[in-house]
Amino acid sequence: MPFHIVLIEPEIPPNTGNIARLCGATGTVLHLVGRLGFSIDDKHLKRAGLDYWDAVDVRQWSDLETLQAAFTKGRFWYTSKKARRTHVQADFHPGDFLVFGKETLGLSEELLRHNAEQSIRIPILSPVVRSLNLSTAAGIVLYEALRQTGQLVTPGSPQCESAGPRPESHPTG
């Protein structure tokens, strides 16, 4: 069962194009919700997705409520830098919906408040960086979901493992 990436009112065509390519590479369904900040025919959107658009299942919805009504048994995870739980603490299941807000505002406070237990964040270790790029965040969360559900293992290849401890650093010079 594929995962789903949900973009609420995305504004920047290359971000959506990059996420479409991510979805094509992983068999993930892409849902575009609400008013888009660009046309689906936008050349920057098409360029970022390269020639992979045929490999992407893209669906458009007028609002999140309509999408949720169409998938009544769906489990939705809401991403926000304000969430308490990190993405690695989530318990992802195949078919989950990973919801991302618009680049400038994120998801609404009301949506996050009503779904606090299903809200997750990606830790940012630097005090000077406020947020990650939308397409970067989508890739991080999706690949963690794929890892948790064992979908990164392909027949005939070694199983994905932790990178293990870091080697000691040695000063040069």
- Domain-wise residue ranges, the chain: 4-148
76 pLDDT tier (thresholds 50, 70, 90): very high
- The 10s digit of each residue's pLDDT in 95-108 is 999 999 999 999 99
165 pLDDT tier (thresholds 50, 70, 90): very low
More confident residue, 173 or 12: 12
Tokens at residue 88, please?
A: 């690695």
Tokens at residue 93, please?
A: 């299941």
The pTM assigned to this predicted structure is 0.85
3-class SS of residue 56: coil
- The 10s digit of each residue's pLDDT in 136-145 is 999 999 999 9
54 pLDDT tier (thresholds 50, 70, 90): confident
Q: Which residues of 132-142 are buried (b: 16+ CB within 10 A; e: fewer)?
A: eebbebbbebb
What CA–CA distance (Å, rounded) separates 57 from 42?
Answer: 18
Q: Are 24 and 5 in contact (CB under 8 A)?
A: no
Q: What is the pLDDT of residue 96?
A: 98
Amino acid letter for position 51 = D
Q: What is the pLDDT of residue 163?
A: 37
Per the prediction, the chain carries an average pLDDT of: 87
The CATH architecture to which 4-148 belongs is: 3-Layer(aba) Sandwich (3.40)
Q: What is the pLDDT of residue 43?
A: 67
Q: What is the pLDDT of residue 170?
A: 41
173 pLDDT tier (thresholds 50, 70, 90): very low
- The 10s digit of each residue's pLDDT in 14-49 is 899 899 999 999 999 999 999 988 777 756 656 655
